[in-house]
Amino acid sequence: MEFTKHFKEFFNNFFEACSSLDQAKLNEMCQLILEKKESQNKVLVFGNGGSAAIASHFSTDLIRAVRVRGVNFNEASLITCFSNDFGYGEWISETIKAHADPGDLVVLISSSGNSLNMVNAAHLCHSINLELVTFSGFSEENNLKKLGNLNFWVNSENYNVVENTHQTWLLAVIEGLVARKS
């Protein structure tokens, strides 16, 4: 079986998704992160599944390359503790309540933009006045896309296109911040 046609279609869709972004939004996110660095606040990053891996990569690069306090919460014992006590739909909200300080930035990454734990966390961020950046895909009308102070949306229903685009945009933010230091 020849896969070349599939690869070409995938890469075309991925390239189109990556390049569809208004790059001023990336600049705006860089500015938000620099504000958090200057005020010695944290950037709390959350995702489910593949998006959790993206959250880990992004928060690690914030720490190592940008010297910003980036935190992700992919520890199984924390997730299962809060999920057991409050329900899976609330574990992110409960983690934010336990770890966020006034002035911190929250980044929520969800391919569908409809994961209950993400949507609930976005509502919490509004209620406690935390700035929020969202990354979502699939339907343009997804719940998460409407809730951030800054929202990034990928016009695709393909998980791999959405997740790889989120990863690319977040790493572009890191690249921009690193280039600023040079």
pLDDT (tens digit per residue) in 42-91: 999 999 999 999 999 999 999 999 999 999 999 999 999 999 999 999 99
Task: Tell me the CATH number at 110.
Answer: 3.40.50.10490
Domain hosting residue 25, numbered range: 4-181
Average pLDDT over the chain, rounded to whole?
A: 95
Q: Parallel, antiparallel, or unpaired for β 69-72 and 105-109?
A: unpaired
Question: What pLDDT does residue 2 have?
Answer: 82
Number of folded domains in the chain? Answer: 1
The residue assigned the tokens 């934010």 is 96
Look up the pTM and report it: 0.96
